[in-house]
């Protein structure tokens, strides 16, 4: 497929220089077991408890590929319209490090499982860019070296060793730190949407290396790049790239040459600095892993993954706008992650035709409450079915939209279902015209001066009377009915 | 113990002996020969006696396996749960695996009794068993000579009558060459026929578990027990295991044996050539037709092998870093010091040589010229065999160009040592099965005949070897006389 590179937008140029960025994103595939062993991938266990014979590289042990990881890689590949290799090849990347038990990492080098995809990325200003993804390949993670707790020594935890990663490599077609971060967010949304990665950045499930270069704005040849390793937050990626672009421009303007090297980002100083020379001087001696035959993917395998594929975020966004009539901003926000979109749809299913109402509540009350409680929507204290009941009561006129917010707050703190809260607190709307008329008569009797004013032509006082009746009925008056009845009585008919 | 597996099995079933008795006999023979041969690295008396008692119980319950209760040894490259597995290296001198190799598991499952672990060239790198941290093994026919390698301890233990069979591994000839040098039968199965799980890796794309025994019939029994698909080895072949013992009796009438002219080159000693030609005549008498064939890429096998095998080894042996298990340098001053001294002190010279060669061959700038080129040669060699097998059923030639050489004769000349493998390595590069069987003598020492078959045609190999052994008695000759 064509991956014709985008033309850099003019505003991405900085005083005559054009930054060019490519990202390598490592997404940990959410499988139960490791890429080549049956050991668990669960995070946070005691060191070296999720390690089998293969993970500690005992002599004689052999890797056996985990098909679940392959299926997730295929799922991602299909979602970005990529080619899925009928045979991809595992290769060994050889280097010595204590947390790399075999002395090599099993990765894919010349023949990755996923190649040549694209991802549409929506920028903050609403523009959409098509980012070419060169490849996505399977590889195993290394263990961890623990330097803090061991005086004069290093601890090794191999729980993470062998965890499956999908390394997603974009082409160098991102032209600003903002574009790079928007792309990274879009990949983050997509992998979580597809259920291939939990996206947890604190636990390192989603991290990024950024390749950054700059060139004279008029040039179309890439400049020498540096690689910023292992950045694990969106903000840091943006800061690191911004810093690196500035540093390179400054260096080039001073007539210096950019050295191709690996750099680390220091989040406290917001700077990048080179890794030690030795770590840069690796010759990884890649070669096909003789323990692993080429990984075969048949048309049937692909069809099976396709059949289980969820509707993709962009397709859903378009459907929300076109079929449900939602404003673009609502559709975009709802589709920011699959759990939110699913929540919205579950609410809507109980309230056919009320897309806007369901969207308003999902993005409004629910989202705000989740934010305050630092919860994700899957853990919402008011599940979609409960919210649906609440909104049904609003639609039926049992309570007003305003009262519904109080009911929601009560539901959030565990007071019960919508019906229970309405019942317990006696919040049922007064739609009985007799009771309403009595309340209105009492108010009019209480404020004769205002009544005279109104009848004298000061129609603004309508709101005053509405407020008084609402006060008297503790907000339970049916607003439409109140309005109609009040107008009648004010006119003195 | 020079009886065949079938004879021993019958004796056990007739209660004329017991597994425990056979096991004690094997200990005695092992100990008696130890000073002369140094065939075994470890004798596991307690484990073996316990296994023998279990075997006797299984036999009393009518165990169907021909191997039940019969002692044998494992090459010390197969991991044995709770029993040290050294690969004849200082690096693993005290390494006790927490698990059994598949081959170990399978033989234990049929109540075979392992009495210990056989000596070998360190990490299976060598053709003489001189590269062992535990000292060289000697040839039972002449203690001044090598038994071949790398499965030299296995071959010597069988030839000396300590056990009727032994497991071995063959990466470039490491079963067939020692079998030839020691006058026994050695079978290297098709790559993938026997699981590599738990078999310590030398060169993964070539390593192959197999068996050394007195006869083809004995090899058939053992192969039947150790062959089969294994989900723990991704290169293991998922196909049915043939009835090897059941097809031994087939007459050879009409069998077409290809005689590859490249296997009878100038390097082949006259006595070896003569013995092999005589053996081929015997095959004609048995009804086989000899067909002259050519394997034009044969001469490229050694250079290709000595790029691919070391390349894989350089990576496979990276795990021996002193961090998790095995030898670790004392009081390292830094991480680099730990690595360099652990590996400098823990590995022997030949292992280091191959790691260096392999590292070089995979390095940036050399990869295409060495590794990739060797892989292309490998394809040519495999194509040679495929072409030949269109017109013949088996291919024959001398297993080795010479009989067993003297200890120390080639240690200072690695290239002369590597040339030992000239007729065997191509088989590994093509992943084919092959057998070496005793075919006569030269200079008073055994000569081996190699038969090569298409992939997964072990039955044909064993059948052809067995029919030869019915007609000849070379395989019955032992250093102590004819059985």
Between B381 and B422, the higher pLDDT residue: B381
For the residues A142-160, what does the mean pLDDT come to? 86
For residue B139, which of B148, B126, B151, B150 has the smallest C-alpha distance?
B148
Is the CB of A296 inside 8 Å of chain B's CB atoms?
no
Q: How many CB atoms lie within 10 A of CB A309?
A: 13
pLDDT at B1: 65
* Chain B nearest C-alpha distance from A150 (Å): 15
Contact A65 B234 (CB under 8 A): yes
Cα separation of A444 and B175, whole Å? 110
Tokens 């390097």 map to which residue? B267
Assess if residue B281 is contained within a domain. no
- Give the pairing of strands B71-75 and B113-118: parallel
Tokens 């969106």 map to which residue? A234
For the residues B258-263, what does the mean pLDDT come to? 95
Cα separation of B59 and B63, whole Å? 5
Is the CB of A293 inside 8 Å of chain B's CB atoms?
yes
Contact B234 A64 (CB under 8 A): yes
Residue A111, both tokens:
């023949």
Q: Domain A433-490 belongs to what topology?
A: Arc Repressor Mutant, subunit A (1.10.10)
pLDDT at A277: 58
| Residues in Cβ contact with A352 at an 8 Å cutoff, skipping those fewer than 6 apart | none
Contact A60 B321 (CB under 8 A): no
Is a pLDDT exceeding 70 seen at residue A5? no
3-state secondary structure chain B: CCCCHHHHHHHHHCCCCCHHHHHHHHHHHHHHHHHHHCCEEEECHHHHHHHHHHHHHHHHCCCCCCCCCCEEEEECCECECCECCCCCCHHHCCCCCCCCCHHHHHHHHCCCEEEEEECCCHHHCCCCCCCCCCCCCCECCECCECCCCCCHHHHHHHHCCCCCEEEEECCCCCCHHHHHHHCCEEEECCCCCECCCCECCCCCCCCCEEEEECCHHHHHHHHHHHECCCCCCCCCCCCCCCCCHHHCCCCCCCCEEEEEHHHHCCCCCHHHHHHHHHHHHHHHHCCCEEEEECCCCHHHHHHHHHHHHHHHHHHHHHHCCCCCCCCCCCCCCCHHHHHHHHHHHHCCHHHHHHHHHHHHHHCCCCCHHHHHHHHHHHHHHHHHHHHHCCCCCEEEEECCCCCCCECCCCCCCHHHHHHCCCCCHHHHHHCCCEEEEEEEEECCEEEEEEEECCCCCHHHHHHHHHHHHHHCCHHHEECCEEC
Contact A57 B324 (CB under 8 A): yes
Stated as kind and residue range, the H or E segment containing A280 is: helix A277-280
Assess if residue B374 is contained within a domain. no
The total number of structural domains that make up chain B: 1
Q: Which of A283, A285, A286, A289 to probe the B interface (max B CBs under 10 A)?
A: A285
Residues of B in contact with A283 (CB under 8 A): 363-364
pLDDT at B465: 98
For residue A196, which of A143, A237, A138 has the smallest C-alpha distance?
A138
Task: Find out whether B448 and B396 touch, Cβ atoms under 8 Å.
Answer: no
Q: Which of B94, B234, B316, B369 to probe the A interface (max A CBs under 10 A)?
A: B234
Residues of B in contact with A104 (CB under 8 A): 315, 318
- At residue A462 the predicted structure's pLDDT band, cuts being 50, 70 and 90, is confident
Nearest CB among B95, B315, B323 relative to A94 is that of B315
pLDDT at A427: 77
Is the CB of B205 inside 8 Å of chain A's CB atoms?
yes
For residue A131, which of A35, A223, A217, A20 has the smallest C-alpha distance?
A20
* Chain A nearest C-alpha distance from B225 (Å): 20
Residue B81, both tokens:
């749960």
The separation between the first and the last C-alpha atoms of chain B, rounded to the nearest angstrom, is: 10
Is a pLDDT exceeding 60 seen at residue A280? no
Between A448 and B82, the higher pLDDT residue: B82
Is the CB of A396 inside 8 Å of chain B's CB atoms?
no
Between A456 and B382, the higher pLDDT residue: B382
Is the CB of B87 inside 8 Å of chain A's CB atoms?
yes
Assess if residue B421 is contained within a domain. no
For residue B174, which of B408, B398, B424 has the smallest C-alpha distance?
B424
For the residues A458-477, what does the mean pLDDT come to? 86
Cα separation of B194 and B429, whole Å? 16
Nearest CB among A104, A154, A292 relative to B234 is that of A292
Phi/psi-derived region of residue A75, left when phi > 0, alpha when psi is between -120 and 50, beta in every other case:
alpha
* Chain B nearest C-alpha distance from A366 (Å): 49
How does A227-261 read in b/e, with b if 16+ C-beta sit within 10 Å?
bbbebbbbebbbbbbbbbbebbbeebeeeeebeee
**DSSP 8-state secondary structure symbol assigned to residue A40:** B
Tokens 């750099």 map to which residue? A263
Query: DSSP secondary structure string, A231-253?
Result: E-SHHHHHHHHHHHHHHHHHHHH
Cα separation of B93 and A186, whole Å? 53
pLDDT more than 90, % of chain A: 70
Task: Find out whether A490 and A451 touch, Cβ atoms under 8 Å.
Answer: yes
* Chain A nearest C-alpha distance from B37 (Å): 27
- At residue B38 the predicted structure's pLDDT band, cuts being 50, 70 and 90, is very high
Assess if residue B93 is contained within a domain. yes
Where in the sequence numbering do the catalytic residues of B fall? 75, 150, 174
- Closest-approach residue (CA) in chain B for A281: B364
pLDDT at A1: 38
Residue A150, both tokens:
């061991």
Residues of B in contact with A292 (CB under 8 A): 234-235
| Residues in Cβ contact with B221 at an 8 Å cutoff, skipping those fewer than 6 apart | B5, B6, B66, B67, B244, B245
- At residue A3 the predicted structure's pLDDT band, cuts being 50, 70 and 90, is very low
For the residues A78-93, what does the mean pLDDT come to? 97
State the residue range of the domain holding B141.
Answer: 5-250+435-448+457-482
| Residues in Cβ contact with B338 at an 8 Å cutoff, skipping those fewer than 6 apart | B321, B322, B323, B328, B329, B332
Between A151 and B121, the higher pLDDT residue: B121
Contact A63 B234 (CB under 8 A): yes
Assess if residue B477 is contained within a domain. yes
Reported as a single tens digit per residue, the pLDDT across B205-250 is 999 999 999 999 999 999 999 999 999 999 999 999 999 999 999 9
Assess if residue B215 is contained within a domain. yes
Task: Find out whether A397 and A478 touch, Cβ atoms under 8 Å.
Answer: yes
How many residue pairs bridge chain A and chain B with CB atoms within 8 Å of each other? 101
Nearest CB among B200, B323, B363 relative to A59 is that of B200
CATH number at residue B45: 3.90.1300.10
Task: Find out whether A141 and A160 touch, Cβ atoms under 8 Å.
Answer: yes
Reported as a single tens digit per residue, the pLDDT across A34-76 is 999 999 999 889 999 999 999 999 999 999 999 999 999 999 9
Cα separation of A120 and B49, whole Å? 70
For the residues A75-101, what does the mean pLDDT come to? 97
Average pLDDT value over all residues in chain A: 91
Is a pLDDT exceeding 50 seen at residue B454? yes
For the residues B344-365, what does the mean pLDDT come to? 97
Assess if residue B370 is contained within a domain. no
Reported as a single tens digit per residue, the pLDDT across A420-461 is 998 888 777 777 777 888 888 888 889 989 888 888 888 888
- At residue B265 the predicted structure's pLDDT band, cuts being 50, 70 and 90, is confident
Is a pLDDT exceeding 60 seen at residue A134? yes
Is a pLDDT exceeding 80 seen at residue B407? yes
Q: Using alpha carbons only, what angle is made at residue B82 by residues B76 and B84, rounded to the nearest 5 degrees?
A: 35
Reported as a single tens digit per residue, the pLDDT across B181-207 is 999 999 999 999 999 999 999 999 999
Reported as a single tens digit per residue, the pLDDT across B304-315 is 999 999 999 999
pLDDT more than 90, % of chain B: 94
Reported as a single tens digit per residue, the pLDDT across A188-222 is 999 999 999 999 999 999 999 999 999 998 888 99
Distances (CA, A) of B1 to B28, B47, B176: 11, 20, 21
Reported as a single tens digit per residue, the pLDDT across A250-269 is 999 999 999 999 999 998 88
Residue A200, both tokens:
């947890």
Enumerate the β-bridge partners of residue A274.
A263
Reported as a single tens digit per residue, the pLDDT across A397-418 is 788 888 899 999 999 999 999 9
pLDDT at B482: 67
Gyration radius (Cα) of chain B, Å: 21
pLDDT at A473: 82
How does B189-221 read in b/e, with b if 16+ C-beta sit within 10 Å?
bbbbbbbbbbbbbbbbbbbbbbbbbbbbbbbbb
Residue A55, both tokens:
């993970």
Is a pLDDT exceeding 70 seen at residue B124? yes
Assess if residue B213 is contained within a domain. yes
**DSSP 8-state secondary structure symbol assigned to residue A397:** T
Q: How many CB atoms lie within 10 A of CB B141?
A: 22
Domain positions in chain A are 15-304, 311-425, 433-490
Reported as a single tens digit per residue, the pLDDT across B279-335 is 999 999 999 999 999 999 999 999 999 999 999 999 999 999 999 999 999 999 999
Is the CB of B335 inside 8 Å of chain A's CB atoms?
yes
Cα separation of A430 and A160, whole Å? 61
Reported as a single tens digit per residue, the pLDDT across A343-385 is 999 999 999 999 999 999 999 999 999 999 999 999 999 999 9
Name the phi and psi angles at A131, rounded to 5.
Answer: -100, 125
pLDDT at A2: 40
Q: How many CB atoms lie within 10 A of CB B162?
A: 31
| Residues in Cβ contact with B41 at an 8 Å cutoff, skipping those fewer than 6 apart | B76, B86, B88, B116, B117, B118, B119, B120, B132, B134, B153
Is a pLDDT exceeding 70 seen at residue A278? no
Residue B367, both tokens:
């990869």
């Amino acid at each position: 497929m064509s991956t014709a590179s985008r033309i850099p937008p003019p505003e991405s140029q900085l005083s005559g220089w054009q930054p060019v960025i490519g990202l390598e994103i490592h997404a940990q595939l959410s499988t139960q077991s490791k890429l080549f062993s049956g050991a668990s991938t669960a995070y946070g266990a005691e060191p070296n408890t999720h390690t089998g014979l293969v993970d500690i590289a005992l002599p004689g042990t052999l890797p056996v590929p985990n098909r679940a990881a392959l299926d997730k890689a295929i799922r991602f590949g299909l979602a970005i319209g990529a080619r899925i290799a009928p045979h991809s090849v595992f290769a060994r990347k050889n280097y010595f490090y204590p947390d790399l038990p075999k002395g090599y990492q099993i990765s894919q080098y010349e023949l990755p499982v996923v190649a040549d995809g694209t991802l549409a990325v929506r920028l903050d200003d609403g523009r959409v860019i098509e980012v070419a993804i060169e490849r996505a390949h399977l590889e195993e993670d290394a263990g961890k070296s623990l330097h803090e707790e061991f005086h004069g020594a290093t601890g090794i935890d191999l729980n993470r060793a062998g965890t499956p990663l999908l390394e997603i490599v974009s082409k160098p077609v991102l032209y600003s730190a903002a574009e790079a971060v928007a792309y990274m967010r879009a990949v983050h949304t997509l992998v979580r949407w597809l259920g291939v990665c939990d996206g947890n950045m604190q636990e390192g499930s989603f991290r990024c290396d950024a390749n950054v270069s700059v060139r004279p704005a008029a040039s179309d040849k890439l400049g020498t790049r540096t690689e910023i390793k292992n950045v694990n937050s969106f903000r840091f990626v943006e800061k690191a790239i911004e810093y690196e672009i500035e540093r390179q421009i400054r260096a080039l303007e001073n007539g210096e040459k950019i050295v191709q090297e690996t750099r680390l980002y220091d989040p406290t100083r917001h700077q990048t600095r080179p890794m030690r020379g030795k770590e840069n001087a690796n010759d990884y001696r890649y070669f096909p892993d003789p323990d692993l035959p080429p990984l075969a993917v048949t048309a049937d395998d692909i069809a099976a993954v396709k059949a289980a594929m969820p509707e993709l975020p962009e397709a859903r966004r378009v459907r929300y706008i076109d079929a449900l009539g939602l404003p673009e901003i609502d559709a975009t926000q709802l589709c920011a992650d699959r759990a939110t979109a699913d929540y919205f749809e579950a609410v809507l299913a109980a309230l056919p035709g009320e897309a806007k109402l369901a969207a308003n509540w999902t993005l409004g009350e629910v989202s705000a409450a989740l934010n305050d409680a630092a919860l994700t929507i899957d853990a919402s204290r008011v599940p979609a079915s409960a919210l649906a009941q609440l909104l049904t009561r609003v639609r039926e006129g049992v309570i007003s939209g305003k009262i519904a917010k109080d009911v929601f707050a009560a539901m959030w703190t565990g007071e019960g279902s919508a019906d229970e809260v309405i019942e317990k607190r006696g919040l049922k709307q007064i739609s009985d015209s007799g009771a309403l008329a009595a309340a209105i008569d009492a108010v009019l009797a209480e404020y004769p001066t205002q009544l005279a004013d109104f009848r004298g032509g000061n129609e603004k006082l309508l709101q005053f009377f509405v407020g008084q009746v609402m006060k008297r009925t503790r907000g339970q008056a049916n607003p439409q009915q109140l309005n109609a009845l009040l107008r009648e009585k004010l006119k003195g008919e | 113990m020079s009886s065949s597996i079938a004879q021993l099995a019958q004796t056990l079933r007739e209660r004329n002996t017991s597994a425990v008795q056979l096991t004690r006999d094997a200990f005695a023979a092992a100990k008696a020969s130890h000073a002369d041969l140094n065939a075994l690295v470890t004798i596991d008396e307690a484990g073996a006696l316990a296994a023998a008692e279990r075997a006797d119980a299984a036999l009393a319950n009518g165990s169907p396996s021909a191997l039940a209760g019969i002692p044998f040894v494992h090459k010390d490259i197969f991991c044995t749960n709770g029993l040290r597995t050294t690969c004849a290296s200082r690096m693993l001198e005290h390494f006790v695996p927490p698990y059994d190799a598949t081959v170990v598991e399978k033989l234990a499952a049929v109540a075979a009794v392992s009495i210990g672990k056989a000596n070998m060239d360190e990490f299976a790198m060598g053709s003489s068993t001189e590269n062992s941290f535990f000292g060289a093994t000697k040839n039972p026919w002449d203690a001044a000579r090598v038994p071949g390698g790398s499965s030299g301890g296995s071959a010597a233990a069988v030839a000396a009558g300590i056990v009727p069979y032994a497991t071995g591994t063959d990466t470039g000839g490491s079963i067939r060459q020692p079998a030839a040098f020691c006058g026994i039968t050695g079978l290297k199965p098709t790559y993938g026929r026997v699981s590599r799980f738990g078999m310590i890796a030398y060169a993964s794309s070539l390593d192959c578990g197999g068996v050394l025994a007195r006869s083809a019939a004995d090899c058939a029994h053992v192969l039947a027990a150790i062959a089969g698909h294994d989900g723990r080895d991704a290169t293991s072949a998922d196909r049915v295991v043939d009835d090897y013992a059941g097809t031994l009796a087939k007459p050879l009438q009409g069998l077409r044996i290809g005689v590859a002219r490249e296997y009878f080159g100038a390097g082949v000693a006259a006595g070896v050539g003569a013995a092999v030609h005589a053996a081929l005549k015997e095959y004609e008498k048995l009804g086989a037709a000899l067909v002259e064939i050519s394997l034009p890429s044969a001469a490229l096998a050694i250079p290709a092998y000595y790029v691919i095998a070391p390349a894989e080894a350089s990576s496979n042996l990276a795990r021996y870093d002193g961090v998790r298990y095995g030898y670790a340098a004392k009081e390292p001053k830094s991480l680099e010091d730990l690595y360099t001294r652990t590996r400098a002190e823990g590995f022997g010279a030949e292992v280091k040589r191959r790691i260096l060669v392999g590292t070089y061959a995979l390095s940036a700038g050399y990869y295409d010229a060495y590794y990739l080129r060797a892989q292309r040669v490998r394809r040519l060699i495999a194509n040679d065999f495929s072409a030949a097998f269109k017109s013949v059923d088996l291919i024959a030639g001398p297993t080795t160009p010479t009989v067993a050489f003297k200890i120390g004769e080639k240690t200072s000349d690695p290239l002369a040592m590597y040339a030992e493998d000239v007729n065997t390595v191509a088989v590994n590069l093509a992943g084919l099965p092959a057998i070496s069987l005793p075919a006569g003598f030269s200079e008073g020492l055994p000569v081996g005949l190699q038969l090569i078959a298409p992939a997964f045609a072990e039955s044909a190999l064993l059948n052809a070897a067995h029919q030869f052994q019915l007609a000849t008695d070379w395989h019955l000759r032992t250093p102590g006389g004819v059985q």
